[in-house]
Amino acid sequence: MTDAAWAILLMWVVLLIYSLAGSVDFGAGFWGMALIRRDAEASTLAYRYVSPLWEVTNVFLVLFTVGFVGFFPEAAFTYGTVLLIPGSLILILLALRGSFLVFAYTTKKYERALRIVSGVTGVLLPSLFVMILPISEGGFVVDTYGHYQLQFAKLLTSPIAYAYLAFGLATELFFSALMMADYSRAAGKERIYSVFRKTAIRLGPLTLISALCVQWLMPSESAWMKLRLDAAWPAFLVSLIAFSIGYGSLWIPTSRGKVTGRPRIAVILIAIQYAIAQFAYGWAHFPYMLYPYLTLEKAFTNGAMFTALLVVMVAGLAVFFPAFVWFWRLFMEDKAYLTGEKK
Do 158 and 196 form a contact (C-beta atoms < 8 A)? no
Beta strands in 262-341 (DSSP E): 288-290, 294-295
Give the model's pLDDT for residue 283. 94
pLDDT band at residue 270 under the 50/70/90 scheme: very high
* Average confidence score pLDDT of the chain: 87
Instruction: Give the pLDDT confidence score for residue 341 in this predicted structure.
Output: 59
pLDDT in tens, 36-72: 878 888 888 887 777 777 778 888 888 899 999 999 9
For residue range 19-32, what is the model confidence (pLDDT) as tens digits? 998 888 888 888 98
pLDDT attached to residue 102: 73
Q: What is the pLDDT of residue 60?
A: 87
pTM value is 0.90
HSE-CB of 164 using CA atoms within 13 angstroms: 20
Burial, 1: exposed, middle or buried (Cβ in 10 Å; 0-12, 13-18, 19+)? exposed
Q: What's the confidence (pLDDT) of residue 337?
A: 64
CA angle 20, 44, 16 (to 5 degrees): 5
Identify which has the larger pLDDT, 54 or 83.
Answer: 83
Confidence of residue 256 (pLDDT cuts 50, 70, 90): low
* Residue 35 pLDDT > 90: no
